[in-house]
Amino acid sequence: PTPETPKEEKKEEDNSPPPPLQIDLEGIQHRIEPFPLKEANYTQIWAIPGKVLLSHRPILGSLDQSWYNGSEPPAHATLEVFDLQTQKTKTFPFTITHFKATKDGKKLIYQAGYKLRVVDAEPAENDSPTQEPGPESGFLDLNRLKVEVIPEVEWQQMFEEIWRLQLHHFWVEDMSGVDWHQVKKRYRPLLPRVASRSEFSDLIWEMQGELGTSHAYELGGDYRKGPQYKQGFLGAEFRFDPDKQTYRIEKILQGDPWQEDYASPLQRIGVNAKPGDYLIAINGQPLHKDFSPAQALVHQANQEVELTLEQNGQQRTVPVKTTGSEFPIRYRDWVENNRNYVLQKTKNRVGYLHIPDMGPRGYAEFHRYYLAELEKDALIVDVRYNRGGHVSQLLLEKLARKRLGFDLPRWGQPEPYPADSVLGPLVAITNEYAGSDGDIFSHCFKLMKLGKLVGKRTWGGVIGIWPRHKLVDGSITTQPEFSFWFVDVGWKVENHGADPDVEVEITPQDWAQYKDPQLDAAIEILLKELEENPPQLPKFDNKPNLALPFS
């Protein structure tokens, strides 16, 4: 008879909880060991058996970053694994956005933009040459995921989540005295009547508006995409000439020629267009009263087009690449026109700079002009239309520097101490479109007594946000979480704004005549201050004589 094979005894799983982790906190600050890694901007650290996974990102500019545009997340991070036994680091042959490891530490999943991939937790010698989804590459086929979306059901869940996020994150627990539960009871019954995504947004705006507080946003979402007509622009202003029956170039906007999207296409080398020239045709299509340059450039954004220009009776055809937006070009043209106007009116005695926001763009704009203008006798700081941000304190700190001395070399100019300190008086211009950190800058400019504030009362919204909550359809909702209090007015900048020292209105008639009485008022104030107290550099005489007394 065949002997019976002995059965393996199954070991019972030990489901008892692990012993509690005891941490000896006494003297822990003296038991720190440096991790033997190169210096970097580490963003994730994940321990696995015998190793540590780490990711670090390069330091990149943030001018083009935005928290609300919903663009694909960048995959700039480098992923590495550090072996605790060999004390060596290996680098994975790809860059990532984020990663997570499995519980046993053998596999990891990483995100790169909108792609997901599963790989071994050890860098492969030869990475998969293909990004096609499948077991070989490890990329997940997200197109296989099918989800039934019932908007009405989504909106119910989103409504509850938006309401709950405000309840738990609003900056003060009592919701500034608003009965938030009663607000929900008032607006929740309206949900069944919502028939479109835009109507849902309107309902949320109305509900959050009950808080009477700034920065309670709801942005984006799963809107049905409509037709898009990508308009091309030439960075110029045209006027129809009835005698020539075509369009005359009235003005070419002056942008930054070293940046493609910040300069008029007509400024490009070889185009040689000038105000007064005629634009006869675009891509061979003649222009006339009923067919303007704007009509000819529909669907031509960022495209190469052929322009037929007439100059001094001679026609020629030149290729140019259009731009998809004139905003940055018109902005630079406006700033430079203001700056040149100030220089002309003050005979080069007063400088000018504009701060469009209090984020990366505004920080860059401030330093672009400040470093060139601070040596003028006085300076105008224009924060009209400032969209807010978070860098106002950095700019105010620099504007508040007072010259205490100078550093004199034998060769070169005296350097002020502190560096980059202003020589003479300051004036700031603000208006009703300056808000958030633009409110804060305007109010603190007065509070710090840096100079007169000219213009109109600001927007009045100084309760900050931390946008990090996406809803199920991709939209973003924000909760006013950080409320500003000031030593002079307490909470009262919110819902009121910063009051100017000198109020100046720009009337519709001023706009029509291209007049800027707010800028004129700032110039007048500074010229008067310069007349009464002109700033002067010291004579730097009485230099030390260090000769020996008996030499």
CA count, 13 A, side-chain hemisphere, 457: 9
Task: List CB contacts of 323: < 8 A, sequence separation 6 or more.
Answer: 232, 233, 234, 235, 260, 261, 264, 265, 301, 302, 329
Could you give the CA distance from residue 352 to residue 428 in angstroms, rounded to a whole number? 10
Q: For this structure, is 154 an active site residue?
A: no
Pick the closest to residue 382 from 324, 440, 441, 327 (CA basis): 441
Burial of 142 (0-12, 13-18, 19+ CB in 10 A): exposed
Could you give the CA distance from residue 368 to residue 336 in angstroms, rounded to a whole number? 12
Could you give the CA distance from residue 387 to residue 410 in angstroms, rounded to a whole number? 45
Among candidate residues 55, 214, 215, 373, the one labeled active-site is 215
- CA of residue 338 relative to chain centroid, distance: 24
- CA of residue 228 relative to chain centroid, distance: 25
Distances in Å between the Cα of 130 and the Cα atoms of 73, 126, 356, 425 are 21, 11, 45, 63
Among candidate residues 210, 218, 494, 529, the one labeled active-site is 494
Task: List CB contacts of 135: < 8 A, sequence separation 6 or more.
Answer: none
Could you give the CA distance from residue 214 to residue 478 in angstroms, rounded to a whole number? 10
Could you give the CA distance from residue 420 to residue 270 in angstroms, rounded to a whole number? 40
Could you give the CA distance from residue 219 to residue 69 in angstroms, rounded to a whole number? 9
Could you give the CA distance from residue 473 to residue 188 in angstroms, rounded to a whole number? 19
Q: For this structure, is 494 an active site residue?
A: yes
Pick the closest to residue 396 from 435, 431, 370, 361 (CA basis): 370
Among candidate residues 55, 392, 436, 475, the one labeled active-site is 436
Residue with token string 């989103």: 158
319 contacts 266 by C-beta, under 8 angstroms = no
Six token digits for residue 12: 């019972």
Q: For this structure, is 436 an active site residue?
A: yes
Instruction: Tell me the β-bridge partners of 415.
Output: 407
Could you give the CA distance from residue 72 to residue 114 in angstroms, rounded to a whole number? 7
Per-residue burial over 388-421, b = 16 or more CB atoms within 10 Å of its CB, e = otherwise = bbbbbeebbebbbeeeeeeeeeeeeeeebeeeeb
Could you give the CA distance from residue 36 to residue 82 in angstroms, rounded to a whole number? 9
CA torsion angle 280 282 284 285 (round to 10): -80
Catalytic residues: 215, 436, 494
